[in-house]
Chains A and B, each alone.
Chain A
C-alpha cells in the first residue's frame, strides 16, 4: 500500500491480522457489490428495461452500482428513485448545489466515501461555489449551522429538541425558513439511511466518472476500488460463496418453526402490560450488549471526507445506557408518520410526503412470500420484527407490539448486523453480512437492508419532525 492513500480502519485491522501471519486472500471484488457475486445481481436482473428507461428518461441518470444492487427489488427501486431524484433535482425550497452539499455532509458523517464522491461530482457539475468542496470552513455559515442537527440525526436522533430547530430558524442573517429546513432534514435523513444501505450491502463505489479535477482530487482517488474497498471485503472466503455449515441447514427450519409457534401463541398469550413493557425494555437494554467486537473506542483515522465532518468524535451512543437518565421513550402512537409526520412534511415541502409515504409503504409491504427455499410464507411477522427492532434501538416504542417476538425471530448474529448497519454502518464487514441467515438468498438480504434503511430513515424523520412540530406550537 502506498502511503499517500489513507486506509480505513478495517484495512488496518486486516493488515494487522495479516502481520500476525493469518493467511488471508485479498479479494478484489468487481461488480456492483463486494458482498454479492456479480452474476447474482446481473442474473437476477435481466437489466429490466423499464427501469433503465425510467431512469434515463426522467432523471437523465445512469445505472450506478447502488441502483443495480437495489434493482434486485425493482418495485421498490422505482419508489426509491422517484423520491431520491425529487429530493435532488425537482422543485424544492433549496437550490441544487445546497442539496448536494447537504448530501455530502450527511454521507460524510458515516465516512461513506462512495456517496460523498458521487455528490462531489454532481456538485462540481453544477459549477458554482466549487471552493465549498475544500471543506466545511469554506461553505457559508448557513450550511455550517446544519452541522449540529446533522451529527445528532446521524448518531443520536433522540437528542434533537425544539431548541435546535429554534436556533436554525430564528431570524438572523443565516436563518433557515421552515420549508428549507424540512427539505434539509429530509435530505439528511435520506442520506444517512442511504449510507447504511451502501455499507450494509457492500455497494462498490462507481468506477465511472472519476475524472475530477481541482480541489477534489483526493476525495475520489481514481482507483478507489483497488485500494480501499477491501474494508468491505474482509473475509476468509475468497470465492464469495456463503459458508454452509452442516448444522445451519436446520437454522431456517427452526426460524420458520418459531414463526409458526408465535402465530399460534398469540391467541393465548395473555402477557400483562408490565410484561410487555419489560419486554421492550429488555430488548432495548439488550441492544446495548449487541456490539460488534473489535471497534471499541478506536480512533477514526483522518480520511479525505473528514473535511466535511465537524466534531468527528460525536458518534453513536446507546439510547438506553446503564445507570443514566435515559431520554423518555418515543411513543409511536403519539407521533406517527402516517398521521403527523406526513402532514407536516407535506405542508412545508409539497409532494415529498406522498413520495416518502410511497417509499415506506413499498419497503414495508414488499414480499415475495418466500423464505430461502420455501415458498408461500407470510413474512410480515419477520419484516415487522426487523422494522420495529430498529425503532426500538432508537427508543421508539409501539404499544401494540410484543417485543418478545423480536427476541424469538432475530438471532444474535442478525442483531449484530442490524445494529451495526443502522447505528454505525461504516463498521459493517463482509463477515457480518455473511454470518446470519446462511441459507437465504442475497436478494433477501438486500431486502433486509432496505427495511433497515427505511426504518432508520423514518426514525430520524420522526424525531426531527417532532422537534419541528414542537417548535411550531
Chain B
C-alpha cells in the first residue's frame, strides 16, 4: 500500500476511534468532569452493575435481537428465493414494497407501526412491549436480508439451477447444492446486518416499545437526557470490549477457515 493511502486510512480510523477512546478514558475518571482527568476509579463500573434498569434492558435487547434476526433471516432468505423466480412485474412490485422500510426514514416506519399497534391495542389485547418490539424488529430486518441475498442471484448463472436438475438433482437438492452455497455469503451478511441493526436500533423501538419492555438504546437515551453520568462511559467501554472480542474471534475463525480451504486446493467453499 502506498504511503498516501496509509496516511489517509490512518486519519479516517482516527476520526472513527478517537471519540470512542475518549469515552473509554473518562469512564475511569474520578470526577464527573468530561474534559479533565483527575484520578483513576472503577466506581462507575460498580454503579453500572448495580443499576437494574440497565441490566434488564440489556437482556431485553439481546433476546429481541436474537429472535428478530433469526426470524428475519429465515423469512428473508425464503422470500429472496421466491422473489427471484417471480416474473418481472410481480417481482418489481414486491421489491419496491420490500424497499419501503429501507427507503423510508426509520421514523416513518416507527410511526406507521405505532399507528398499527395502537389500532390493535384498542381492539385486541395487544400491549406495547416485547411482542410489538419483536414484530417491529423483524419488519425492519427482513428487507436487509432480502437485499443482501438478491444480488447473489444476479451474480449467479441462472442456468446452474436447471443444469443441476438436468443432471439428475431433485429441485430441493439443486436448491441446497447449487443455490444455497451461492447465496450463503449474502444470507450470512444479511443475518449479521439484521442482528447489528436490531441491537443498535433506537428510533423504531422508541415508537413501538411500551413502558413494560425497554431496550438498552432506549435506556441509554433516557440517561443522556438526564444529567451527565460517567455510567454511560462505563457502559460504552464494556460494549466496546464485547464488540472487539466478538469481531476478533469471528475474524480469526473466518481466516482459519479460508486458510483451510486454500490448503484443500480451494475447491470447497
- A complexed with B: no
Q: Which residues of B contact A (CB under 8 A)?
A: none
Q: Which residues of A contact B (CB under 8 A)?
A: none
